[in-house]
Amino acid sequence: MEKIAPNIRSARPDGDRRLVITWKGGAESIVDVSKLLADYEVFAPLRDDDDLFRKVTVGEWGWCCHWSDDLEMSSDTLWRLALEQGSSWLRAWRAVHTMTQAEAASALGVSPRMWRYYEAGSHLLPKTVRLAGIGLDAQARAA
Amino acid sequence: MPRHFHIEGRGFRAVVEIKTMAVRAGNVRKAAEALRWAHDNVALLQTEWLRLNRKA
C-alpha cells in the first residue's frame, strides 16, 4: 500500500508555472509544474493563460490544487514533485560546491542522515535548508 | 500509477485502481457509497481517465 501525501493548506502562484504550497503541518515547497502542464493535453489552458494559472485555489479538503473541474493536480502528484525537486535542488547545490554529503551537511547545519534523506527524496527538503544554502552563497559573495 | 481514481473527503482520501478496484493508497472505510458508485460506473471512469490523461 502506498502512502498518502499530506493535504494542502494553501497554494499560491510563484513566477512562471511554479506553485508555493504549504502542506498540512506547515512545511512549504516550491513546486515547478511546467513539465506536468506540458505533458498533458487537458492542461493546455494553464499553459497558455498566465492569468488563469494565477487563479489557483486549494480544492475541497486540501487534496488538490484546483483551477476548474478538469484542471486539478492531486496532492499526491504535487508531493512527489516536491520531493523530486527538493532532492535535485540539493544535489545541484552540493555539486556546485564540490562537497561530500558530510561536508555539505555540516556546512548547512544538517545531520548527515537527514541530508541523505533529502537527497534521496524520501523526506521533503525543508525551506530552512534551502534558504541556508542560498544564505551561505550570499555570504560567500559578500566576503 | 495504473489507471485510477480518487475518493476524497474531510480528513481521508483513497486511490483506487479502476481495473481491479484495488485500494492502492489510503483507506475506504468512509467511502463505501462512492465505491459502490464506482463499481456501477467502471466504463465512465475508464473514459474519463483516458480523456484526462491524454498526452500533449
Picking from A59, A80, A101, the residue at the C-terminal end of a domain is A80
Q: Do A75 and A110 fall within a single domain?
A: no
Select the residue of B25, B51, B53 nearest A4 (Cβ to Cβ).
B25
ipTM for the complex? 0.90
* Domain-located, residue A3: no
Greater pLDDT, A54 or A2: A54
Rounded mean pLDDT, B6-23 = 93
pLDDT tier, A112 (very low <50, low <70, confident <90, very high otherwise):
very high
Residue A135 forms contact with B (CB below 8 Å): no
Domain segments of chain B as ranges: 4-52
* Domain-located, residue A49: yes
pLDDT tier, B27 (very low <50, low <70, confident <90, very high otherwise):
confident
CATH number at residue A87: 1.10.260
Stretch among A62-76, A89-103, A106-120, B19-33 having the lowest mean pLDDT: B19-33
Q: Do A65 and A93 fall within a single domain?
A: no
Q: Do A90 and A64 fall within a single domain?
A: no
Q: Do A93 and A111 fall within a single domain?
A: yes
A3 within 8 A of B25, measured Cβ to Cβ? yes
A83 within 8 A of A124, measured Cβ to Cβ? yes
A28 within 8 A of A20, measured Cβ to Cβ? yes
Question: Does the pLDDT value for residue B29 go beyond 90?
Answer: no
Q: How far is CA B21 from CA A20, B15, B27, B37, in A?
A: 33, 9, 13, 12
Q: Do A111 and A122 fall within a single domain?
A: yes
CB–CB contact A63 B8 (8 Å) = yes
Rounded mean pLDDT, B8-19 = 92
Q: Do A70 and A107 fall within a single domain?
A: no
Rounded mean pLDDT, A129-143 = 96
Query: Which pLDDT belongs to residue A1?
Result: 60
- Chain B from 22 to 41: CB within 8 A of any A CB: 23-26
* Nearest CA-CA partner of A120 in A128, A131, A112, A132: A112
A69: how many CB neighbours lie within 10 A of its CB?
6
Q: Do A70 and A109 fall within a single domain?
A: no
Domain of A127, in residue numbers: 83-142
Q: How many domains are contained in chain A?
A: 2
Q: How far is A114 from chain B (nearest CA, A)?
A: 26
Q: Do A74 and A44 fall within a single domain?
A: yes
Please tell me whether the overall predicted TM-score, pTM, comes out greater than 0.80 for this model.
yes
Question: Does the pLDDT value for residue A14 go beyond 70?
Answer: yes
Residue B11 forms contact with A (CB below 8 Å): yes
Rounded mean pLDDT, A111-133 = 97
